[in-house]
Amino acid sequence: MKKKNIFNPKGDDTIKNRRIIKGSTTGLFQLNDSKYTWAKKMYPIMIGNFWIPEKITGLKDDARMFESNLSSHEQKAYKGILSFLIFLDSVQTVNLPNISDYITAPEVNLLLAIQTYQEAIHSQSYATILETVVDSQERNEIYYFWKNDEILLERNKYIGQIYQDFKDKPSDDNFFKTVIANYLLESLYFYNGFAFFDSLVDQMKMQATGRMIAYIRRDELTHVTLFANIIKEIKKEFGEIYSEKVIIDMMQIAVKQEINWSNHILGDKIPGINGESTEKYTKWLANHRLEMLGIGVLYKDAKENPYKHLDRLQDLDGDKSNFFEGSVINYTQSSGLAGDWEEI
């Protein structure tokens, strides 16, 4: 694959000849004519999700609660999960422009630019949490937790190496794997961590952190939808690149790693979460994400979300973040937040 030119006078941006990848672009951001109508629909939703972590109040209360109300197991999970989330959003911020270099539909490039900005905001959000809630002497330990934790290092290396392989060798196969890795990261890797923070909120603990996570989760749902649509367009336009086998193989690896990591960092000592619920939830979610791509169920026994008591928090079918006393909804710059992202 070749990166698109910054300026190509001989390019053709017309709808007839526009392609999700490998199109002949002029370099002009022609956004009045859109081939991918789902992208045009997503733009006001994503831009309407604008928020900044400095507007979240109550983190000082979380700092006091962290020391006095969380068990040692909850404190360890809080720090370990933050470390993993920090890594995920860090590599996304760095890698998304690399993917965008090969996307040749300006309406999709626009969404990727918004996503890159949002990932950077997420990284700043975690920094804000660490500055306020965690002792300063522990911050570097959290950032570099993977250096001393083999299971987390394995996870980070898996996703990081896929991204690096494409940057070093931008072949069709490596591009497709990178797009799938991005989809898995956005649609699966975050969610057991989110479930942990939601379980704390359900017990009336760490509610400011929970509000921050609600914003982040709302953003991530649009990212899942964005990459699901990119994958479906690749399947439609470049069947020779698309591989359902690659998707399933990578999903199985991701599920195994997500279960191992979640059991490692959460174990059976977090109220409402245990090894059985982690496995059921991860496999149920994997089925759901595969169905978004038009792929059949992979784990036939995982038919239901085991976290029924967190349905109002685990925002999988639309924005329910008004659970947090309306704070998330009230701060947004857009009123068009309701609806099912995954149907766009």
By annotation, the residues acting in catalysis are 126
- Nearest of 246, 191, 250 to residue 217 by alpha carbon: 191
From residue 164, give the alpha-carbon distance in Å to each of 123, 156, 157, 168, 216. Answer: 20, 12, 10, 6, 25
Q: How far apart are CA 210 and CA 197, in angstroms?
A: 6
- Nearest of 170, 37, 53, 159 to residue 102 by alpha carbon: 170
- Nearest of 6, 46, 42, 1 to residue 25 by alpha carbon: 6
For residue 314, what are the contacts with CB-CB under 8 A and spacing of at least 6? 191, 194, 195, 198, 305, 307
Query: With contact defined as beta carbons under 8 Å apart, do 323 and 303 qualify?
Result: no
Handedness of CA 304, 343, 125, 63 (dihedral sign): negative
For residue 185, how many C-alpha atoms fall within 13 Å in the half-sphere facing its CB?
30
264-268: Cβ within 8 A, 24+ apart: 264/151, 265/76, 265/77, 265/80, 265/81, 265/84, 265/152, 266/77, 266/192, 266/196, 267/73
Q: How far apart are CA 131 and CA 244, in angstroms?
A: 43
